[in-house]
Structure 1
Amino acid sequence: MEWLASFFPVVQAVFATLFTWGVTALGAGLVFFFKSINKTVLNGMLGFAAGVMIAASFWSLLAPAIEMAEDLGQLAWLTAAVGFLAGGAFLWAVDVTLPHLHMGLERDQAEGIKTGWQRSVLLVLAITLHNIPEGLAVGVAFGAAAFDLPSASLAGATALALGIGLQNFPEGAAVSIPLRREGFSRTKAFLYGQASGIVEPIAGFLGAFAVISMQPILPYALAFAAGAMIYVVVEELIPEAQNHTGGNSTNVATIGCMVGFAVMMILDVALG
């Protein structure tokens, strides 16, 4: 029973990431009500998601990583830097390897290893890249809460899951509705849109399992998740939010980012 109890944080992480996946599916479900999405609205959604991820990277991941490294007698700045850069390097390796295609681009502009996969699969894989660090971050946070450290609490991990869930709603819509506009049926667009979030429970399980199995890597794991999320924000979300914009559209993306950051910061400070 003690062995089973020690792995309860993994169960919590899986349920939390199933929640974030479910919110992705809810967002994707908007395709049953709308056939298209205004570019300005989409930019605001992407900006909001970027703001949430930036705030979560610091408040929920990097700051606790630094505190834990100090508690464990590690050189805190080095631990945080190594983990952070490793997370970015991991996402870079996935980005240049996994075939994927960003919305609005032609099939021959797909990134990663060349493949004959269908355009729809490549579009979903592009969004799936976003969700790997999100699931990993939630899993690591719940794993960290198991050690009953001041800088890592169950409430803080729950706040992170809520924040990721909030930004997954517009993200799900940002996948399914453009697919519908490209000619997919509503059902197929929904299925593809929600499928982009399936990686989150997998990454959440792996993250929680790793940190409860090897406590010394915990600060590195938190910083790793932060680095991976910042990579996604800079490489994917912000460029997509600012691409092909005009008038007030760019401002909406920026405001969305500010609001997303504030919401995630409030959640973490108030609940964590």
Structure 2
Amino acid sequence: MNQILHYFESIDPVLGALYASLFTWILTAAGAALVFFFKGMNRALLDGMLGFTGGVMVAASFWSLLAPGIEMSPGEGFVKVIPAAVGFAMGALFLYGLDKILPHLHINFKESEKEGVKTPWHRTTLLVLAIALHNIPEGLAVGVLFGGVAAGIPEATIGGAVALAMGIGIQNFPEGLAVSMPLRRQGVSKFKSFWYGQMSAIVEPISAVIGAVAVTFFTPILPYALAFAAGAMIFVVVEEVIPETQRDNYTDIATLGFIGGFIIMMTLDVALG
């Protein structure tokens, strides 16, 4: 682990953001690749994995994003929390807008429950877009932290950025499977199921680089940017991830998965950040 941290310390932080987000993409592809070895997936396992994803995202939102953002904000009392509050609200509203515009369909939902503008797009495309929608703030979060390192902000550390990338990568593994396996059950070929599953995370490297570059050139926005990513992720968890886990008989398993994801992400951030 120390060697990994030393490596990221030795390269340009924007390049580090790209590499870290490519790592999260690779783990998504690895999860999606399980479709080549298994014909189906137990619904309890799927709900548990989705719960785990939500736990990681909530823990990352506080430990990796909101807390450092508040700490680096100037002022005291109410003044100190203003950047975090404004950024958090803007991030949630940004995802709210995308959710209303971008056509998508959540994993456990019926086709009649698709969201966004009306479109004749196939169910496969809508499922991929649903996952891509919540991968945007994940990539942005990684990029913003690496951008803070590039800007020389003490509260933004390589350890914290790497911990966040690791946490997101871990939860992306089951996420890739959660996309590819339902597609396979619908009769999509193994290769296409894998392809669509891994493509759901392609937005992460893109948004990570954008976030890192933006913060590098506009350092004062860092507290807002951190909170923006947090607000976007919390919106996704409440609007998408949790409802998906509460539509069958395995709500307790999903809840335990959430707790496990939260603990793992919290441990990674405290230990490495």
How would you bin the TM-score normalised by the shorter chain? over 0.9
Written as runs of structure 1 = structure 2, the 5 A alignment for 1:1-272 is 8-70=12-74, 75-244=79-248, 246=249, 249-272=250-273
More moved, 12-21 vs 147-156? 147-156
- For 2:117 and 2:107, the matched residues in 1 are separated by 18
Deviation at 1:88, TM superposition (A): 0.2
Q: 1:104 to 1:257 in 2, by over 3 A?
A: closer
Deviation at 1:69, TM superposition (A): 0.8
Given that 1:83 and 1:220 are in contact with CA atoms closer than 8 Å, whether structure 2 keeps it comes out as yes
- For 1:78 and 1:242, the matched residues in 2 are separated by 34
- For 1:32 and 1:237, the matched residues in 2 are separated by 25
Given that 2:109 and 2:244 are in contact with CA atoms closer than 8 Å, whether structure 1 keeps it comes out as no
Deviation at 1:149, TM superposition (A): 3.2
Given that 1:72 and 1:216 are in contact with CA atoms closer than 8 Å, whether structure 2 keeps it comes out as no
- For 2:76 and 2:18, the matched residues in 1 are separated by 27
Given that 2:103 and 2:117 are in contact with CA atoms closer than 8 Å, whether structure 1 keeps it comes out as yes
Cα-to-partner distance string for 1:48-85 (whole Å, 9 max, x where unaligned):
11000000000000000001113799922111100000
Given that 1:14 and 1:205 are in contact with CA atoms closer than 8 Å, whether structure 2 keeps it comes out as yes
Deviation at 1:114, TM superposition (A): 0.9
Deviation at 1:151, TM superposition (A): 2.0
- For 1:104 and 1:169, the matched residues in 2 are separated by 18
- For 1:239 and 1:182, the matched residues in 2 are separated by 22
Deviation at 1:46, TM superposition (A): 0.5
More moved, 107-116 vs 191-200? 107-116
Structure 2 residues without counterparts, runs of 5 or longer: 1-10
More moved, 47-56 vs 148-157? 148-157
Equivalent residue letter for 1:119: R
Q: 1:147 to 1:262 in 2, by over 3 A?
A: same
RMSD of aligned C-alpha atoms?
1.8
- For 1:105 and 1:49, the matched residues in 2 are separated by 18
Structure 1 residues without counterparts, runs of 5 or longer: 1-6
Given that 2:108 and 2:244 are in contact with CA atoms closer than 8 Å, whether structure 1 keeps it comes out as no
- For 1:193 and 1:71, the matched residues in 2 are separated by 45
- Work out the number of aligned pairs and report it: 264
Cα-to-partner distance string for 1:185-221 (whole Å, 9 max, x where unaligned):
1101000000000000000011001101101100000
